[in-house]
Structure 1
Amino acid sequence: MPSLSEISYNRDECISAVREYYNFLVGMYLDEAEVVEPPPGGWPSITTATMAPLGKTDEVVSLLRHLPYIREKNDDMYNVQTAAWCYFTNWEADASLLIRDSSCVESVKISTESASLYEILPPHVVSITKSPRDWTTLLIDTELGIGLWYECPGEVRDWPLREKVLEDPYDYEEDEEQAEWRGECGAWSIPDFFEVLKDQFRELKFVPKSPRAVVDVYISEGVAFPDMIEMLQGIYREHGWPDMEKYRKKDCLKAVQKALKERYPRLADSDWVEEE
């Protein structure tokens, strides 16, 4: 397992990891048009001035200014989930919201950092997700150079394919409150952090049930409808997943919707339209 002394933060490496993660999702289920790249020089709405109400460091602002994002819709129902039960935060949209109404800062922090963490996260840690009911909160620490999954399922925290950070937070955090929330996280170097997320899809622990919705084996449908999860896993494997050279994305997503409508109509995406 790598120690923190062997890990360092690199902004370009982090941006590349996010971009590669989106490319991976496009290969599996995501519509490529949902990914938006920053203009040269970064997103104009994301500046130290506009982001000041959030209390984040200049490095966090610089990172967010240059990240690609997923298009944000007016209704969460139509937003695209980029991990199980959560959306990756479109900080360009949130920055624009703060420009229009700075009183929204608390709601932005709660929706991204969770009700449990928004008052205690340090300025150099930023959330990259929004999640209903605080189900999935993913964070980037721009000082330590690690990605953190808050309240990470035990099966993932001990994920055998990637080496997690060696140190116990209580060994390097003097503030007990800070050590406590970090102790609830799975922690990896930033490149490995995104590989852990990809692994959840590769192993079909995260299972897309449409081009915009992802369920998992850990909570909700994975517990309440295990047969549905097994059905979806089987469909993906029948269509070549996870071998990207054999995987037939369009046919697979069509088969997923057909099976859901036949066996679990309440859980099908009623608005999904097959691409021509």
Structure 2
Amino acid sequence: MPFDQEEFLRLITDHYEFCHRVYWNDLPISRALLGGWPEIPPEVLAGLQKNDGAVNLIRNLPYPEFSRDRQYSSFTPLLMFDTQVIDYRLDYVQESIVCDELESKPEPFTTLDPPLPASCVCIARCYSRNGYFVVVDTEDGYVYWGDPNGEHDEPEPELKKTLERFEDDDVNDWRVYGVNVYTPADFFALCKHRFREMRWIGTGHWYISAVRMNIDSDNFGFERGHDVMVGLLREAGWPGDGEGRDWDPAKFHALLENARW
């Protein structure tokens, strides 16, 4: 499907505002000025060898305002379990683009340099093997949500079959193993749903407790303390209106501080 940048920016901004209300501790969400972020000139992105569509998207993404201080800026908020938002405005991200170590680049590790095709933008990634990576392709319009271990716990969506076109394609080999494919609307709706059903619980912008999909919802206690947090969230009025409103985050955190684990 064709990529609709305006619609994608609307969806990702809406989701960041949801995160802001639910577990990002009210971090403000900043939107790019007309013409894109001046802190991200196109030449800074040259090391990723992106096409014009991908560069334009990066320069217009919204970002949660955490810290520009080099001491703390690498601790960007989590989008999902152990998976940080990539803020291309930050010095350390721009320096990682020209770094010789492929593992340090702001993209999933693929053994290629650059790691991703020219049309692809990584919006979030893990810096270990425990989380995920999230990539949007400005050519086909899809979101690619991947597990770096090649074993995604989410059910395969219908669009998974579109990956057949990348078989025996070394440049796109990263899409084939442990990666699910979604429309942007379906991807962000699914992420919200995981929070609503309390399979994902954020207690701050740096911590999300998550129960993988291969564990039954009746066994949330599999992740230590997760079942306790489920009860505390309900006591605080979760899920409210389903969009992060009409519940009591302050009460949840007060209950959390006094919880018995």
Give the counterpart of 2:203 among 179, 199, 209. 209
Q: Using a 3 Å threshold, how does the CA distance of structure 1 residues 238 and 14 change in structure 2: closer, same or farther?
A: same
- Provide the rounded CA distance (Å) in 1 between the counterparts of 2:239 and 2:15: 15
State whether structure 2 residue 251 is matched by structure 1 residue 251.
yes
Residue 270 of structure 1: aligned partner: none
State whether structure 2 residue 143 is matched by structure 1 residue 147.
yes
Deviation, 1:77, is 7.9
Deviation, 1:115, is 2.5
Q: Using a 3 Å threshold, how does the CA distance of structure 1 residues 117 and 208 change in structure 2: closer, same or farther?
A: farther
Give the counterpart of 1:133 among 117, 128, 136. 128
SS for the counterpart of 2:258 is helix
- Provide the rounded CA distance (Å) in 1 between the counterparts of 2:127 and 2:229: 23
Give the counterpart of 1:188 among 182, 192, 203. 182
**1:228-276 deviations in whole A, cap 9, x for unaligned?**
01111221122222222542122112322332xx53xxxxxxxxxxxxx
Deviation, 1:143, is 0.5
Residue 87 of structure 1: aligned partner: 84
Deviation, 1:181, is 2.2
Q: Quick one: which amino acid aligns to residue 258 of structure 2?
A: K
State whether structure 2 residue 29 is matched by structure 1 residue 35.
yes
CA contact (8 A) 1:85 1:215 kept: no
Unaligned 5+ runs, structure 1? 1-6, 264-276
SS for the counterpart of 1:46 is coil
Q: Which runs of 4+ in 1 moved over 4 A?
A: 106-109, 152-155, 222-225
CA contact (8 A) 1:202 1:242 kept: yes
Residue 67 of structure 1: aligned partner: 61
- Provide the rounded CA distance (Å) in 2 between the counterparts of 1:76 and 1:97: 9
Deviation, 1:56, is 1.0
Q: Using a 3 Å threshold, how does the CA distance of structure 1 residues 103 and 27 change in structure 2: closer, same or farther?
A: closer
Q: Which moved more, 1:206-215 or 1:43-52?
A: 206-215
Residue 235 of structure 1: aligned partner: 232
CA contact (8 A) 1:210 1:256 kept: no
SS for the counterpart of 1:113 is coil
Q: Quick one: which amino acid aligns to residue 189 of structure 1?
A: T
Deviation, 1:14, is 0.9
- Provide the rounded CA distance (Å) in 1 between the counterparts of 2:73 and 2:81: 14
Alignment coverage as a number of residue pairs: 245
Give the counterpart of 2:40 among 36, 39, 46. 46
Deviation, 1:13, is 0.9
Q: Quick one: which amino acid aligns to residue 34 of structure 2?
A: P
* TM-score for both structures, normalised by structure 2: 0.80
Q: Quick one: which amino acid aligns to residue 2 of structure 2?
A: S
Q: Which moved more, 1:141-150 or 1:112-121?
A: 112-121
Matched ranges for 1:220-231 at <5 A: 226-231=223-228
CA contact (8 A) 1:164 1:186 kept: no
Residue 9 of structure 1: aligned partner: 3
Give the counterpart of 2:50 among 47, 56, 72. 56
- Report the RMSD for the aligned CA atoms in angstroms: 3.0
Residue 216 of structure 2: aligned partner: none
- Provide the rounded CA distance (Å) in 1 between the counterparts of 2:66 and 2:247: 28
State whether structure 2 residue 149 is matched by structure 1 residue 156.
no
Identical pairs, percent = 21
CA contact (8 A) 2:199 2:211 kept: yes
Deviation, 1:166, is 5.3
Unaligned 5+ runs, structure 2? 214-218
- Provide the rounded CA distance (Å) in 2 between the counterparts of 1:102 and 1:27: 30
